[in-house]
C-alpha cells in the first residue's frame, strides 16, 4: 500500500496532482503539505498539514510517523521570481531538494519525484528539437538550480539507491491554480485576461516560441513515470518532455477564434531574455520509449478547454 506525501500542494501542480493521486490511491493515503493554505478541495478531501520542506527534522518526523513510501517535492521559486532574489532562491530551491533526498535516503520513502524544467538549457543549447543530452549552460538562477538538482538526484540514485525520478516540464497551462513568478506564466494569464477583459498585455514578444503542456497531460505523465517499472528507466537525471510549441501570437490567434474582439499588446520585459535562452521545441523520444509518455492535448483542444473552464470558474464566483 503506497502512502504518498505531496510537498507544495497549494501550488499550480500540487493542487491538481493531490486530487488525482487521491483518486488513484485513496484519499487517506495522500498527505498534502505546504507553507500556504491550499484550496478547500485539498484540505477537505484528505490529510493536510502546514509543513516547511526547509525544516529537515520536522520533514523526516512527518515521513516516518506517517509511514510515507513516496514523496513528490514540488516546492520551488520559479524563474522570474528567482532573478529578483538570486541567492535566496538558490538556497530555497537547493535546500528543499537536498532535504527530500536526505529523507529518502534515511527513511522508507525511497521513491522521490522532483520536477526539473526546460530552464536547464541555455543560450548555447540547440534551440529546435533540443536533445536529451546536449550543451547545458543555463544562465538563470532557477535553471542553474534545476541542472544542479538533476545531477544530485542521479547521484543519490547511484550512490544511495534513492529511487529518484524527474521530468523537465515545459511551461504548464492550467486554470485551477495560477502559477506565480515563472517566465511561461503568460500562457495562463492570457486566458484569464481574455475572459475578463478581452485584452492582454503580454510580457514576451509575439514571436517567442516556447514548449508548453496542458496540466492534465503533465499530471498524467508525472504519475505514469512514478508508476513505471524501474528497470525500464534508462535515465535517473530528468527526462525531456516536449508538449506543444507555439508563440504568443499563435496562441492569441487561436483564442480569437472563440473571442473575435480579443486583442493583445506586446511589451517584452526582463523575462524576454530568460525566454530567449530556452528551447523552442524539445525531443522527448527517450521518455516515450522508456515509460510511454503520451500527450492528448494540442493547441486547439487546450484553448477550447481553458476558455470553457475559466468562463465557468469566473461566472460561478460572481
Please name which of 72, 69, 60 lies closest in space to residue 14, comparing C-alpha atoms. 72
Give yes or no for residue 211 binding ligand SER (CB under 6 A). Answer: no
Active site residue 142: yes
Query: Which string of DSSP letters, residue by residue, matches 219-250?
Result: HHHHHHHHHS-GGG---SS-EE---EEE-HHH
Given 33, 145, 183, 238, the residue binding ligand SER (CB under 6 A):
183
Q: Please identify, using beta-carbon distances, which residue of 30 and 275 lies nearer to ligand SER.
A: 275
Distance in Å, CB of 119 to ligand SER, minimum:
5
Distance in Å, CB of 125 to ligand SER, minimum:
15
H-type helices in 136-228, by residue range? Answer: 141-160, 186-197, 215-227
Given 119, 147, 213, 252, the residue binding ligand SER (CB under 6 A):
119
Catalytic residue among 72, 142, 175, 297: 142
Please name which of 71, 83, 159 lies closest in space to residue 115, comparing C-alpha atoms. 71
Given 122, 149, 171, 248, the residue binding ligand SER (CB under 6 A):
171
Burial group, residue 2, by CB count within 10 angstroms (0-12, 13-18, 19+): middle
Task: Give CA angle at 53 (46, 63), nearest 5°.
Answer: 55
Give yes or no for residue 164 binding ligand SER (CB under 6 A). Answer: no
Rg for the chain, CA atoms, rounded: 19
Q: Please identify, using beta-carbon distances, which residue of 11 and 171 lies nearer to ligand SER.
A: 171
Give me the 77-96 binding string for ligand SER, x by CB under 6 A, dash otherwise. Answer: -xx-----------------
Question: Contacts with ligand SER in 286-315 (CB under 6 A)?
Answer: none
Which SS3 state, helix, strand or coil, does residue 218 take?
Answer: helix
Stretch that binds ligand SER, among 178-186, 213-221, 231-239, 247-255 (CB under 6 A): 178-186
Burial group, residue 223, by CB count within 10 angstroms (0-12, 13-18, 19+): middle
Give yes or no for residue 209 binding ligand SER (CB under 6 A). Answer: no
Residue positions counted in the chain: 318
The values of phi and psi at residue 218, to 5°, are: -65, -45
Give yes or no for residue 122 binding ligand SER (CB under 6 A). Answer: no
Distance in Å, CB of 108 to ligand SER, minimum:
30
Q: Please identify, using beta-carbon distances, which residue of 141 and 194 lies nearer to ligand SER.
A: 141
* Number of residues forming the site for ligand SER (CB under 6 A): 10
Give yes or no for residue 240 binding ligand SER (CB under 6 A). Answer: no
Nearest residue relative to ligand SER (C-beta): 182
**Pairing status of strand 70-73 against strand 48-50:** unpaired
Instruction: Please list the active-site residues.
Output: 142
Binding site for ligand SER (CB under 6 A): 78-79, 117, 119, 142, 169, 171, 182-184
Amino acid at each position: 500500500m503506497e502512502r504518498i506525501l505531496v510537498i507544495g500542494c497549494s501550488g499550480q501542480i500540487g493542487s491538481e496532482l493531490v486530487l488525482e493521486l487521491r483518486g488513484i490511491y485513496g484519499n487517506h493515503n495522500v498527505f498534502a503539505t505546504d507553507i500556504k493554505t491550499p484550496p478547500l478541495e485539498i484540505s477537505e478531501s484528505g490529510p493536510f498539514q502546514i509543513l516547511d520542506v526547509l525544516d529537515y527534522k520536522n520533514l523526516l518526523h512527518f515521513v516516518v510517523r506517517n509511514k510515507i513510501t513516496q514523496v513528490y517535492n514540488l516546492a520551488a521559486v520559479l524563474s522570474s521570481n528567482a532573478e529578483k532574489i538570486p541567492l535566496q532562491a538558490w538556497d530555497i530551491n537547493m535546500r528543499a531538494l537536498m532535504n527530500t533526498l536526505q529523507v529518502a535516503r534515511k527513511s522508507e520513502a525511497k521513491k522521490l519525484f522532483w520536477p526539473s524544467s526546460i530552464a536547464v538549457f541555455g543560450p548555447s543549447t540547440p534551440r529546435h528539437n533540443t536533445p536529451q543530452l546536449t550543451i547545458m549552460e543555463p544562465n538563470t538562477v532557477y535553471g542553474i538550480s534545476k541542472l544542479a538538482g538533476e545531477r544530485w538526484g542521479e547521484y543519490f540514485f547511484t550512490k544511495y539507491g534513492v529511487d529518484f525520478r524527474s521530468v523537465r516540464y515545459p511551461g504548464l497551462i492550467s486554470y485551477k491554480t495560477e502559477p506565480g513568478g515563472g517566465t511561461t506564466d503568460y500562457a495562463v494569464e492570457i486566458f484569464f485576461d481574455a475572459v475578463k477583459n478581452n485584452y492582454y498585455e503580454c510580457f514576451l514578444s509575439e514571436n517567442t516560441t516556447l514548449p508548453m503542456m496542458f496540466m492534465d497531460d503533465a499530471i498524467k505523465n508525472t504519475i505514469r513515470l512514478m508508476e513505471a517499472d524501474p528497470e525500464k528507466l534508462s535515465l535517473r537525471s530528468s527526462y525531456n518532455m516536449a508538449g506543444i510549441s507555439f508563440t504568443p501570437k499563435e496562441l492569441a490567434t487561436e483564442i480569437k477564434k472563440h473571442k473575435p474582439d480579443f486583442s493583445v499588446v506586446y511589451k517584452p520585459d526582463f523575462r524576454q531574455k530568460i525566454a530567449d535562452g530556452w528551447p523552442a521545441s524539445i525531443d522527448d523520444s527517450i521518455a516515450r520509449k522508456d515509460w510511454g509518455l503520451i500527450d492528448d492535448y494540442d493547441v486547439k483542444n487546450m484553448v477550447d478547454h481553458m476558455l470553457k473552464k475559466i468562463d465557468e470558474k469566473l461566472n460561478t464566483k460572481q
